[in-house]
Amino acid sequence: MAKITLDKWIVVITVITASMMQLIDTSIVNVTLTQMMGNLGASLGDISWVVTGYTAANVVMITLSGWMSAKMGRKNYFTASIILFTVASIFCGTSTSISQLIIFRIIQGLGGGGLLSTAQAILIDTFPREEMGKANAIFGMGMIIGPSIGPTLGGYITDHLSWHWVFFINIPIGIIAAILSSLYIKESKHMMKTGKMDWLALALLIIFIGALQIILEKGESEDWFETPYITILTISSILAGIFFIRRQLTVEHPILNIRLLKNNQFSIGTFFGFIQGIGLYASVFIIPVFCQSMLGYTAQQTGWLMLPGSLAAGLMMPVVAVIMKKTKISPVVLAGIGFSLFILFVWMLSGMNMNTNAEAFFWPLILRGIGLGLLFMPLLTITIYPLHNRDIPQATALSNMVRQLGGSFGIAVATTYISVRAVLHYDRLSEHVSMYDQSSFDRFNSYTRLFMSKGYDLASSQLSALTALKGSMYKQAMILTYNDVFLIVGVFFAFCIPLLLLFRLKGKNIEKVEQQVEMHLVD
């Protein structure tokens, strides 16, 4: 087994620190939005663009990162992305208006988008092929822990400092990462050939990804296609996507090498990356919303609730790496176990109610963390493993872009389903509430007496009692809705398990994958 030198471990620390900085920023801002609104005098619609603008810019640059690293050099591009992200963080923290903050968040997203895929490519190139599992384990730890500790850190900053510090904390980290990157990261020996920038393709990519992200972020709050600009963006995104894909398949040097999907194993793995994005981001989204809106948890309390499961996922990464290297267990089998644990996790949370306490979340979230570790490592390894080193930057850009879109789809679908399903449950509950129903009548009288005991007159007490009764039904409808969401996610993952057999098209286990690698390395 090849030894990893001190310089290489410095590279590992550098790329993981930089990528985690970017990943944390995708979620840390969410818990400070209310404070930003009050400080900058922004509306809810305005402040939401702080998240949407960053995400859209981030995904565009993730897609473009393979071409950029080949054009500028992987080391130069990675270092420049760190510097851009850090400088943008300074301007975000010193913004005095909502328009300034949105502009600098978009610039920050452009810098952050260059970090994730490039970091993964650098790690894979740093470790020898036989140590790829270790490289993916380290990368996976950052991928999963980063978005999960964001709300915890953001909640602490919100409670003890000001919103400016969610950006200022990036400054010392970014400076150190930029210095270490310039000193220790070496240029790859396996560089992809690339031509001049295809400006038409870039414009199509920006329209396709940018419009799609805005649709997914804003669609539910804007009643989807009831709003004209959502309809226009949808048509624009579809047309731009079609023309972008067609152009990438016809030009000699594409900015996104979609031809890599001709490799069956990579295409199947990318598909599962999309599914994994849905599970990771949707579950990280649903649980905090439920805890804060239904159970009254603060952002910091919710963050601490999520932390043990995130740590379990991170600690599981090196364990899975050892299992894959030391045993003959197929990565497909490990991924199947991961999906099964995820199903168990959502099933355990599908019976939540208003009396659910923090302890009830502990073991389900631990199972989720272990399941994510078993999913992420094997799928990532068998997806990337068959490709030549020169294709790794484009492959990581494509797979990370698809995973990010999966997360956006997951959140958008979950949000829409919650809003629609809640109305359905409320209507069904309302059908059973009547003054001719004894239990409803008793509850109404109980509320009325409660308000009268607080000094309200009879008419005011009855009106308040009716409002309280409706509020109680709404909460119950929301509880039933969240339970339904978890069950549906469980069914979705159950259907994914048989699809793992598609990997058998390229072999039953990792040994055949290794044979493919050996053939590529001969080229």
User: pLDDT of 338-351, one tens digit each?
Assistant: 889 988 988 888 88
Q: Give the mean pLDDT of the chain.
A: 78
Provide the strand spans (E) within 337-446.
none
Q: Please calculate the CA angle 427-432-435 and round it to the nearest 5 degrees.
A: 120
The sign of the dihedral angle between the CA atoms of 466, 468, 473, 478 is positive
| Tens digits of residue pLDDT in 385-441 | 677 667 777 777 788 788 878 877 787 788 788 888 888 888 887 777 666 666 766
Instruction: Tell me the C-alpha distance between 115 and 123, whole Å.
Output: 12
Query: What value does the mean pLDDT take over residues 92-99?
Result: 88
With a CB cutoff of 8 Å and minimum separation 6, the contacts of 325 are: 130, 133, 134
Q: Is the pLDDT of residue 309 over 50?
A: yes
Hey, what are 363's tokens? 């073991």
Domains and CATH numbers, the chain: 6-411+476-522 (1.20.1250.20), 425-469 (no CATH)
| CA 179 vs CA 4, 174, 242: distances in Å | 21, 9, 41
For residue 1, what pLDDT is reported? 41
pLDDT band at 85, cuts 50/70/90? Answer: very high
The answer to whether 67 and 260 have CB atoms below 8 angstroms apart is no
The sign of the dihedral angle between the CA atoms of 455, 459, 461, 464 is negative
Instruction: Tell me the C-alpha distance between 365 and 164, whole Å.
Output: 31
Phi, psi of 217, deg, nearest 5: -75, -40
| Tens digits of residue pLDDT in 28-73 | 776 677 778 778 887 766 777 787 788 788 888 888 887 788 778 8
Q: Is the pLDDT of residue 3 over 60?
A: no
| Tens digits of residue pLDDT in 220-274 | 777 777 888 888 999 998 999 899 888 888 887 787 778 888 877 788 888 888 8
Q: Does an H or E element contain 284, and which?
A: helix 264-293
pLDDT band at 144, cuts 50/70/90? Answer: low
The answer to whether 57 and 114 have CB atoms below 8 angstroms apart is no
**165: nearest Cα among 16, 14, 18, 28:** 28
With a CB cutoff of 8 Å and minimum separation 6, the contacts of 370 are: 312, 313, 316, 338, 341
SS3 21: helix
For residue 189, what pLDDT is reported? 67
Hey, what are 28's tokens? 């840390």
Query: What value does the mean pLDDT take over residues 476-499?
Result: 84
Rounded to two decimals, what is the model's pTM?
Answer: 0.72
With a CB cutoff of 8 Å and minimum separation 6, the contacts of 239 are: none
Instruction: Tell me the C-alpha distance between 45 and 289, whole Å.
Output: 18
- Residue listed under structure tokens 């384990």: 137
Instruction: Tell me the C-alpha distance between 395 and 266, whole Å.
Output: 8
Instruction: Tell me the C-alpha distance between 433 and 68, whole Å.
Output: 61
**185: nearest Cα among 319, 350, 73:** 73
| CA 481 vs CA 263, 293, 305, 359, 476: distances in Å | 40, 13, 21, 21, 9
- Residue listed under structure tokens 């981001």: 281
pLDDT band at 514, cuts 50/70/90? Answer: very low
**25: nearest Cα among 111, 97, 135, 119:** 111
Q: Please calculate the CA angle 300-302-308 and round it to the nearest 5 degrees.
A: 105
SS3 257: coil
Instruction: Tell me the C-alpha distance between 523 and 516, whole Å.
Output: 11
CB atoms within 10 A of CB 6: 8
CA Rg, the chain, in Å?
Answer: 25
For residue 522, what pLDDT is reported? 38
More confident residue, 97 or 379: 97
